[in-house]
């Protein structure tokens, strides 16, 4: 999507204008794209003299720990007073890699309380609510990191992308595209990656750090989850689902981020329409959904599980127990394929 000149000028004034207190907020259970885009945008703003604080509701997965500047992130669960002070003092708040304020948990209320701060959305999820001072929202963009790259380019600042920024941006580009295997893989995207390589990006190193840095427990948990996979329905509407309860997670010494990616595997079964993963947490069951290109799971998540996301990668929540959630899921699948 091309953004209007008005929007870009508004952004340029904020970025190139007088130094400000800035908060960059990313979503709960932050992933590579949320963290990478926040850190790279923060680096760009700091170069222009802004006082930047990156905030996230809860911890990031261990496989991101090596990212440059990640220790500067303020985690609301661990340091609520620092996050509250930064948000209260902000002149502008950038919301990156999500568009629904409730996905910020408690940080959302802090942002709403700061009425004088400009609120800017930089995101690639569907259906942004129109509650920002500017929306730089592009659902056709495969990651928020790629969107941040394009904005930096449009502001004429691409020459300033150095190796740490290249690594931060690449992590989101790589993880949100499933290592360049999902949709929206434009020539422009590969040109951006080529630029990052010119800045010194070592792709095999980043691959190793992201994909080959798990524990043996994590691999065993994956094998366990896959071995319990169930399928329902028949072609062309076959659906696979996996469940993990809190007790099962404990048995495999579960660490945050360990279940990332499991949900993708059932889609490797020929003609599978949807893959779903149900993970029990103390408060609710978190649902991850993935789908074949022609099936819209963001619609499914919105309709049945109070969620949303992208056409082929979405998620939601259930406040019922696992058996009731699965019963509801099966009914939802039946109804969904009759009505689409």
Q: Say whether residue 36 binds ligand 5GP (CB under 6 A).
A: no
Task: Please answer whether residues 48 and 127 qualify as being in contact, where contact means their C-beta atoms are separated by less than 8 angstroms.
Answer: no
Rounded (5°) CA angle 86-91-97: 75
- In this complex, which beta carbon is closest to ligand 5GP, that of residue 20 or of residue 143? 143
- In this complex, which beta carbon is closest to Mn ion, that of residue 179 or of residue 253? 179
Round to whole Å and give the CA distance between 260 and 225.
12
Task: Please answer whether residues 304 and 286 qualify as being in contact, where contact means their C-beta atoms are separated by less than 8 angstroms.
Answer: no
* Stretch of 91-99, 155-163, 184-192, 197-205 contacting Mn ion, by CB under 5 A: 91-99
Query: Residue 263: which H helix or E strand, with range?
Result: none
Minimal distance in Å, beta carbon 277 to ligand 5GP?
7
Q: Say whether residue 33 binds Mn ion (CB under 5 A).
A: yes
Round to whole Å and give the CA distance between 172 and 258.
18
* Contact flags string 305-334 toward ligand 5GP, x per CB under 6 A: --xxxx--xxxxx-----------------
Task: Please answer whether residues 146 and 160 qualify as being in contact, where contact means their C-beta atoms are separated by less than 8 angstroms.
Answer: no
48 binds, among ligand 5GP, Mn ion, none (CB under 5 to 8 A by kind): none
3-state secondary structure of 152: helix
Q: Which two tokens stand for residue 205?
A: 């190193």
Query: Residue 25: which H helix or E strand, with range?
Result: strand 21-26
Answer for which of 100, 183, 213, 264 binds ligand 5GP (CB under 6 A) is 100
Minimal distance in Å, beta carbon 117 to ligand 5GP?
23
Q: In what order do the strands lie in the sheet with 313-318?
A: 230-232, 239-244, 274-280, 285-291, 313-318, 308-309
- In this complex, which beta carbon is closest to ligand 5GP, that of residue 97 or of residue 167? 97
- In this complex, which beta carbon is closest to Mn ion, that of residue 173 or of residue 276? 173
Q: Say whether residue 266 binds ligand 5GP (CB under 6 A).
A: no
308 binds, among ligand 5GP, Mn ion, none (CB under 5 to 8 A by kind): ligand 5GP
Task: Residue 74: name the closest of 126, 121, 20, 110 by CA.
Answer: 110
Round to whole Å and give the CA distance between 154 and 249.
45
Q: Say whether residue 176 binds Mn ion (CB under 5 A).
A: yes
- In this complex, which beta carbon is closest to ligand 5GP, that of residue 164 or of residue 261? 261
Q: Say whether residue 213 binds ligand 5GP (CB under 6 A).
A: no
266 binds, among ligand 5GP, Mn ion, none (CB under 5 to 8 A by kind): none
- In this complex, which beta carbon is closest to ligand 5GP, that of residue 58 or of residue 100? 100
Task: Please answer whether residues 177 and 143 qualify as being in contact, where contact means their C-beta atoms are separated by less than 8 angstroms.
Answer: yes
- In this complex, which beta carbon is closest to Mn ion, that of residue 24 or of residue 240? 24
Residues forming contacts to Mn ion in the complex (CB under 5 A) are 33, 97, 144, 176
């Amino acid at each position: 999507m091309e953004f209007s000149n008005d929007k870009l000028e508004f952004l340029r004034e904020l970025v190139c204008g007088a130094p400000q207190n800035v908060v960059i907020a990313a979503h709960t259970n932050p992933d590579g794209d949320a963290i990478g885009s926040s850190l790279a945008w923060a680096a760009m703003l700091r170069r222009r003299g802004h006082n930047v604080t990156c905030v996230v509701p809860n911890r990031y997965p261990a496989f991101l720990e090596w990212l440059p500047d990640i220790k500067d992130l303020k985690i609301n669960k661990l340091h609520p007073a620092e996050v509250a002070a930064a948000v209260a003092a902000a002149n502008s708040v950038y919301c990156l890699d999500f568009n629904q304020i409730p996905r910020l948990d408690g940080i959302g209320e802090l942002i709403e309380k700061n009425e004088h701060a400009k609120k800017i959305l930089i995101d690639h999820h569907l259906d942004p609510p129109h509650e920002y001072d500017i929306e730089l929202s592009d659902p056709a963009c495969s990651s928020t990191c790629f969107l941040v790259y394009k904005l930096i380019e449009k502001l004429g600042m691409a020459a300033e992308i150095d190796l740490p920024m290249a690594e931060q941006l690449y992590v989101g580009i790589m993880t949100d595209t499933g290592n360049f295997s999902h949709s929206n893989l434009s020539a422009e995207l590969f040109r951006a990656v080529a630029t990052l390589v010119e800045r010194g990006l070592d792709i095999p190193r980043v691959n190793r750090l992201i994909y080959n840095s798990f524990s043996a427990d994590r691999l065993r948990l994956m094998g366990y989850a896959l071995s319990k996979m169930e399928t329902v329905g028949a072609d062309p509407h076959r659906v696979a689902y996996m469940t993990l309860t809190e007790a099962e997670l404990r048995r495999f010494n579960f660490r945050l981020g360990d279940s990332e990616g499991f949900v993708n595997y059932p889609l490797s079964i020929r003609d599978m329409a949807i893959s779903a993963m149900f993970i029990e947490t103390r408060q609710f069951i978190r649902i991850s959904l993935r789908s074949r290109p022609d099936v819209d799971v963001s619609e499914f998540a919105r309709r049945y599980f109070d969620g949303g996301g992208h056409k082929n990668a979405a998620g939601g929540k259930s406040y019922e127990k696992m058996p009731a959630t699965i019963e509801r899921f099966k009914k939802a699948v039946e109804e969904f394929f009759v009505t689409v």
